[in-house]
Amino acid sequence: MSALIVVSDPDDWPSSLPGVEVVSGRNYLTDAAYSERRHTRVFNLSRSYRYQSTGYYVSLLAAARGHRPLPSVTTIQDMRSLTIVRSVTDDLDDLVQHCLGPIQSDHFVLSVYFGHNMAQRYTRLALQLFNLFPAPMLRAHFVRDDRWRLVHIKPIPASDVPDSHWPYLIDVATRHFAGHTRSVSRPKAAQYDLAVLHDPKAEDAPSNERALRKFTRAAEQVGFDASMIDKDDYGRIGEFDALFIRETTAVNHHTFRFSRRAAAEGLVVIDDPESIVRCTNKVYLAEALLRHHIALPRTLIVHRGNVDQIAPALGLPCVLKQPDSSFSHGVVKVHSQEELNERVAELLEKSDLLVAQEFLPTEFDWRIGVFAGQPLWACRYHMARKHWQIVKHGGDGSHSYGKVESCAVENAPKAIVRAAVRAARLMGNGLYGVDLKEVRRKGIVIEVNDNPNIDAGYEDRILKDELYLRIMNGFLARVRARTEGKVRL
C-alpha cells in the first residue's frame, strides 16, 4: 500500500521519506490523479480538522475513495467527545497513574508520534493512546487533582511540532513507513494488504508456526501483502484491507476489539464480530440449534430455578458447559447428584445461565471445517488416552491430545457433513470448525467454533497447500467485492 502525507503546506513536513509522497490538502482534494489512485494510506497532518474544513474533508474523502485515512473522521469526532475521552481515562487509569505518578506538576502534556514518545518511560502509555485514537501525531493533556485524568486529546498538525522533536519524529516515521508501506512505482503483485493477528507466545494457538507461514505464502500468491500483527498493533488496523484472526477469540478480549474495529473500518474480517459472539457462547449455540431443529445431545439451558431438572432430563453422568468454555476448559462431566449440585453452584457464580447435556461417549469426534458455507476439510479427533475429551488437562498445567486422522470431505459420512454445514450457516458466512458425534449414523452437533484449528500436518493433510489457497482466495473475493462497491469520485 502506497503512502501519502497530507499537510496544509508542503513546507510543514521538512523531510522526504522513502516511498512516501507529501502533498497539500488542497491538491489531494482537487487533483483527479489522487481521486483515481487505489490502495493508498493517507496520513492527514492538516493544521485544522474542524467540521467541513480542508483537514476534515481530507479524511472524509479519503474514505470515500477507498483510501485508508489516519485519523479517520470517526477518530477526529471521538477526540472531541468528552464522554469518550473520560471513558478512556477509566480504561487506562492504572497505566496513567503508574506512568505519571512521579511527576511533581499537576499538569502534563504527552506528545505521541506514530505510537511513540521521546521518553522511554511513557512508551506503553503512548502506544495505548495511539491504539484508542489512531492518528499519526497526538497531544494528550493530563491534570491531577486527587488522581491524574486525561482532560483532552487532539491531533498535532505538522506545523505545530517543536523543532527539537523533528529528528525523533522523522526517525519513528521512517521506521513506521519502512515496515508498512510501499512505493507506487515499486513492482509488486500485491493488490491488497492483509493483517494476520496472532500471539507468538500462545500455547494453544489455532495455527502453528508452519501453518502461519503457509497462510502468508498463500496470501502473497493470490495478491495480498501479508503482515503478522499482535495485540499491540490495534492502532494499525486501518492500514489494511483485511484482518485474519489466528488467535483464540473471546468476547471480553482484545481479539473481539480487533474484530469490531476492523469491521467498523470497512475491512473484511475473519472472525467477524457476530461469529465471535455467537460461537463463543454455548447458550446461544444451543438455543440456535434447538430452534432450527439441528440434532444435538439432549440439552437443558440451566438457571438457578431448574437445577433439579438436570438429572431427570439428561441422566447421569452428564456434561456441564460454562458458556464461554474453550479448549475443553470450563467443560466438566459429573457422575453423581452431589457432584452435579457442587459444580452447578460453581458455574452459576460466573454466569446466570449454563448448558447441561447428556453424555454421549464415542471414540472420536468429527471436525468439519466450513468456509463460506462450504465444507473444506474433515478430521477425526480421537479422545485423549484414558479420558473422555480430545484434550486432557493435567493438574500441573500440562495437557495431552488424542490422535488426529484426516480424510477427504467426500469420504466423511454424508450425514456428518450435512449437519456441519447447516450448523455453520446458522453462525454466519465465515470460517468455522464444527464438532460432531456420529450416533446411529446420524450427525449430532456438539459445538461450532469460530476460530478452528488449522495446523500444518493435521487439518491440511489432505488438501495440503490448496487449503490455504482456498481460504485466501475467499478473502480476496470478499475484499474485491467490497472495494469495487465503493463510490468513485
| Residue pLDDT, tens place only, 141-179 | 999 998 999 999 999 999 999 999 999 999 999 988 876
| Residue pLDDT, tens place only, 292-301 | 999 999 999 9
3-state DSSP assignment of residue 306: coil
Do residues 405 and 430 touch, judged by C-beta distance below 8 A?
A: no
What proportion of the chain, given as a percentage, has pLDDT over 90?
73
Q: Is residue 382 pLDDT above 60, yes or no?
A: yes
Per-residue cell: 405: 486422522
Site of grid cell 502534556: 109
| Residue pLDDT, tens place only, 87-127 | 777 778 999 999 999 999 999 999 999 999 999 999 999 99
| Residue pLDDT, tens place only, 440-468 | 999 999 999 999 999 999 999 999 999 99
Q: What is the DSSP string of 436-488?
A: EEEETTEEEEEEEESS----TTTTTTTTTHHHHHHHHHHHHHHHHHHHHTSPP
Lowest mean pLDDT among 192-201, 331-340, 376-385, 399-408: 399-408
| Residue pLDDT, tens place only, 254-285 | 999 999 999 988 899 999 999 999 999 999 99
The string over 356-375, giving b where at least 16 C-beta atoms fall within 10 Å of a residue's C-beta and e elsewhere, is: bbbbeebebbbbbbbbbeeb
Q: Is residue 485 pLDDT above 80, yes or no?
A: no
Per-residue cell: 308: 433439579
- Residue 141 CA to residue 378 CA, distance in Å, equals 55
